[in-house]
A and B are shown apart, each in its own frame.
Chain A
Amino acid sequence: MSAIIMDSVTLRYGKESIIEELDWTVPEGKITVLIGGNGCGKSTLFRSAARLLKPSSGHVLLDNILLEKMSTKEAARKMAILPQSPAAPEGLTVLQLVKQGRYPHQTWLKQWSEDDEQAVQKALRATSMLELSGHPVDELSGGQRQRAWIAMTLAQNTDILLLDEPTTYLDMTHQIEILDLLFELNEQEGRTIVMVLHDLNLACRYAHHIVAVKDKTVYAEGAPEHIVDADLVKHVFGLDCLIDRDPLYGTPLCIPFGKGRRAVTG
């Protein structure tokens, strides 16, 4: 089964094409991580899945249904999307923000059901944002804000989650906390998770499936152990590195070459 299928998709801003004839299948119930250099089109791919950018050719399927044939509300009940740099209206509190994630589940009469309440509480707890729930979002630190946004995405309670760089701004503890949370959501509830990560080592640890984007299309995809090597890093990022094995997890570990200081020994 596949959660999202992109079939020969071409994406353009005006005349300039960013993605050309890309084929990509997101496996259901797995964690997929997109990697690639700045400006290679990762966020653009997300925008097309988010119905914000129509492919100029090709098709996007969600749950094996053509995305353009689905109402946007229906799509929002299947898939939640966290954009790369979202902005909250002035003075909105964390709770009000997270509640907004319930939007696709609400109707005119049912503006706040028990389900809404529970989903919001669960999302706040999972992101440890309960104590901050009364705070205005624009007065939080970058990391706290990011967690509030993730809570909003979680409150949408969808089978598929798309997160564009969810760990940016987070300190190491919170990076691991958020990735662990997503990992658990995947393990325990079988949710499909697609995210962009810039930390290749964390990507290799958490992803079942890695997709490297380069030259307007998918350069390589597969399990990190199978595809991540010095050659791939050289091609995708233009960086020389040594690939070792993570001593704790056995997953690929990328040690980049560069300048810098050597440790003082002896």
Chain B
Amino acid sequence: MKAFRPLHGAVSLLIDQRTVFKIISLFACLLIVFIASAALGDIKFSPVVAFQTIFGFGDPFQHMVVYSFRMPRILVALFAGAALAMAGAILQGLVRNPLASPDLIGMTAGGSAAVTAFLAIFSDKSNALTVSIGWLPLAAFIGAAVTALLVYMLAWKNGLSPIRLILIGIGLTAAMKAVTTMMMIIGPIYQASKANMWMTGSVNGSSWSDVLMIAPWTIISLVAVMMAGRHLNMQQFGDELAIGAGARVERQRIFFLVLATALVGGAVAFAGGIGFVGLMAPHIARRLVGSHAGGLIPATALIGAILVMLADLAGRTLFLPLEVPAGVFTAAIGAPYFIYLLFRTKG
């Protein structure tokens, strides 16, 4: 622990060196996965070549493969993973239950429902879209936000009770899944497979314009969560203690929920419903650096980013020439992890 007080104590902070060290290590892992992702694929480079190319010293071919094909999807995976993970950490802090996650609260399902609805509604008889596909992310975002809003409104009863939030979230998730299925039945066949891909979560086909939207969105949210970190810490103690210690619990809870929605909306909009990241990443991070927001939030973001980047890397290298969506891999690790967590929290 080291106190940091510049400007004659007008500004003061407390920094734990061990946590800083762990976060730097995670960041190093992220860089390694990043370089590996740039190097591997149907065309393989050595890590050194990939590294050089990232910094602009590759030949035109290498440059094209890394910059035009791989970097956009790697970066979207990175930011979507970080965003989903942070949203999970926030929700788990608010609800004080390690099982809370954007998937469980219905946000991801809402985003996916909106995407299928969009594809079904805006297709003409010949299966062509009547509006630009560029609107799809917006539809996903609106879907996540509307579902979140519905959950909050239905759960609100003289304040926001965490348990009601979860129960209503589970109910709405089911409802949204029903909407999704209905839209897929109504909609044209070819659209259904596209919608399915989206729902599983994939960064295939990400472009630089996607990166330029999701990156600032996620980074701004990260800064906002970090700045409100001590309030998030207080939320984790529950109302009785938090109010006693002078926290404006309801107001802060709404702030954090809006932030979590923004994060999930952004991620679902650009990467689809990549599941279980919001559940696993915060849990692993808590094991590593504890529950204190100052360490938990950056560690969670890094772990989430690494998980989704790895899932995408596995998806496009393990079963060549087939490409498997990243969401399949996060679900493959996430589902058993969820069951393990269920067992652990039972006692």
Give the complex CA separation of A76 and B245 in angstroms.
Answer: 5
A30 → chain B, closest Cβ, in Å?
Answer: 21
Whether B246 pairs with A77 at a CB distance below 8 angstroms is yes
Residues of A within 8 Å of B10, CB to CB, are 109-110
Number of residues in A with C-beta < 8 Å to the partner?
40
Chain A residues contacting B236 (CB-CB under 8 Å) are: 89, 92
Interface string of B108-141 (1 = CB under 8 A from A): 0000000000000000000000000000000000
Per-residue CB proximity of A82-119 to B under 8 Å, as 1/0? Answer: 01001111111101100111011010111111101100
Contact between B12 and A110 (Cβ–Cβ < 8 Å)? yes
Q: Which residues of B96-111 have CB atoms within 8 Å of chain A's CB atoms?
A: 96, 98
Q: Say yes or no: A100-B245 contact (C-beta < 8 A), given A86-B237, A90-B286.
A: yes
**B283 (CB) vs chain A CBs: closest residue:** A90
Residue of chain A at shortest CB distance from B290: A91
> Is B3's CB under 8 angstroms from A50's CB?
no
| Pairs across A and B, CB under 8 Å, 28 listed | A72-B243, A72-B248, A73-B246, A76-B244, A77-B246, A80-B244, A80-B245, A81-B244, A83-B244, A86-B240, A89-B96, A90-B291, A91-B286, A95-B1, A99-B14, A100-B233, A100-B245, A103-B246, A104-B245, A104-B246, A110-B11, A110-B12, A111-B13, A112-B4, A112-B5, A112-B13, A114-B9, A136-B290
Task: Kindly provide the distance from the CB of A99 to the nearest chain B CB, expressed in whole angstroms.
Answer: 7
Contacts of B248 in A (CB 8 A): 72-73
Q: Which residues of B contact A (CB under 8 A)?
A: 1, 3-5, 9-14, 93, 96, 98, 227, 230, 233-234, 236-241, 243-248, 286-287, 290-292
A50 CA to B241 CA, complexed, in Å = 9
Q: Quick one: which of B3, B247, B291 contacts A103, CB cutoff 8 A?
A: B247
User: A59 within 8 Å of B by Cβ?
Assistant: no
Which of A51, A91, A101, A108 meets B287, CB within 8 Å? A91
User: Within the assembled complex, what's the spacing in Å between the Cα atoms of A75 and B245?
Assistant: 9
Q: Tell me the A residues contacting B by CB distance below 8 Å.
A: 47, 50-52, 72-77, 80-81, 83, 86-93, 95-96, 99-101, 103-104, 106, 108-114, 116-117, 136, 156
Are A52 and B240 CB-contacts (below 8 A) given A91-B291, A111-B13? yes
Interface hub of B5, B236, B245, B292 (most chain A Cβ within 10 A): B245
Which 4 A-B residue pairings sit nearest by Cβ, starting from the closest? A76-B246, A104-B246, A89-B291, A81-B244
B290 contact from A92, A108, A111, Cβ within 8 A:
A92
- Measured CB to CB, the closest approach of chain B to A175, in angstroms, equals 23
Q: Could you tell me the distance in whole angstroms from the C-beta of B233 to the nearest C-beta in chain A?
A: 6
The complex places the Cα of A173 from the Cα of B237 at a distance, in Å, of 29
Report Cα–Cα, A86/B242, bound state, in Å: 11
Q: A87-B238, A91-B291 are in contact. Are A111 and B12 (CB under 8 A)?
A: yes
The answer to whether B227 touches A108 (Cβ under 8 A) is: yes
Chain A residue nearest to B9 (CB atoms) is: A113
